[in-house]
Chain A
């Protein structure tokens, strides 16, 4: 089954404790992206990747890192999480940036 898988689905942690949210797709997609969704602000793009070793900033990259060492994986790294990064995070992938995106089910992060 074609899918985008995010882990964990839920995480409660404390300020400053490094965490990684994994994202994996099994569709051989080149384009992958991370978004955060916040009430009143909607979905905003954090980072995206056009292909392996090619990443670029979205609208709200501050406080986040990403890597794309393999085509299927696009982890989101919070080196020193802060409470303002409490949000619902989505990973997405597509064949190319101008093709329909497939979304994961989301990761709800709470930073205390």
Chain B
């Protein structure tokens, strides 16, 4: 059964710093990996989706990488802003089209 782990569980950084969030998964037979953002009291917003044939995806200040062989993905946030404060989750689909989520990293960017 697929297991997804996110480290750290919480992270607090000053505004302007570059930061990296980590996601690891146990079954490398995935066909994509998604990163989401969740704001308090809200649903999830899809940030980036990396197909298994890709090694990275970029959207604005966000860059996500995928290393299937090692079962790892990272989300890089450049020049962090207070508006980036949220919980970030990664998710991978299983063979039966189920989606397994990590428990998330709660990010706080201090002004």
Contacts and interface: CB of A to CB of B under 8 A. Distances in A.
Which 5 residue pairs across A and B have the least CB separation, nearest first?
A: A103-B43, A100-B46, A43-B101, A42-B103, A103-B44
Contacts of A81: none
Interface string A55-71: 01011000000000000
Interface string B43-73: 1111001010000000000000000000000
A50 B97 contact: yes
Interface in B96-110: 96-104
A33 to B, nearest CB: 7
A90 interface: yes
A105 B98 contact: no
A100 B42 CA distance: 17
Given A42-B104, A98-B31, A48 B46 contact: no
Contacts of A35: 99, 101
